[in-house]
Amino acid sequence: MFKDLVKTNRSYRGFDESRTISKDELLELVDLARCTPSGANNQPLKYRPVFQHDEVEAVVANTKWAALLKDMVLPRQGKHPTAFLVICVDTSICANPANCQTDVGIAAQTMLLGAVEKGLGGCMIANFKKDAMAELLHLPEGLVPTLVVALGKPDEKVVLVDAEDSIKYYRDGQDIHYVPKRTLADLIIE
Nearer to ligand FMN, 56 or 125 (CB): 125
Q: Give Cα separations from 41 to 44, 93, 100, 109 (angstroms).
A: 9, 11, 11, 18
Q: Are residues 82 and 121 in contact, defined by beta-carbon separation less than 8 angstroms?
A: no
Q: What are phi and psi of 136, to 5 degrees?
A: -70, -25
- Closest distance to ligand FMN from the beta carbon of 9 (Å): 8
Q: Does 66 bind ligand FMN (CB under 6 A)?
A: yes
- Closest distance to ligand FMN from the beta carbon of 183 (Å): 14
Nearer to ligand FMN, 27 or 161 (CB): 161
C-alpha to C-alpha distance for 120 and 63, rounded to whole angstroms: 20
Closest CA to 90 of 104, 80, 73: 104
Nearer to ligand FMN, 6 or 95 (CB): 6
The window from 19-27, 47-55, 61-69, 136-144 that contacts ligand FMN (CB under 6 A) reads 61-69
Nearer to ligand FMN, 29 or 123 (CB): 123
C-alpha to C-alpha distance for 59 and 57, rounded to whole angstroms: 5
- Closest distance to ligand FMN from the beta carbon of 28 (Å): 22
What residues numbered 24-43 form the site for ligand FMN, per CB under 6 A? none
Query: Considering CB under 6 A, how many residues would be counted as binding ligand FMN?
Result: 13
Strand pairing partners for 159?
178
Q: Does 183 bind ligand FMN (CB under 6 A)?
A: no
What residues numbered 107-166 form the site for ligand FMN, per CB under 6 A? 123-127, 158
C-alpha to C-alpha distance for 45 and 52, rounded to whole angstroms: 22
Strand pairing partners for 85?
49, 149
Q: What is the CA radius of gyration of the chain?
A: 17
What's the gap between Cα 27 and its chain centre?
A: 16
- Closest distance to ligand FMN from the beta carbon of 94 (Å): 17
Q: What is the binding site for ligand FMN (CB under 6 A)?
A: 10-11, 64-66, 123-127, 158, 169, 179
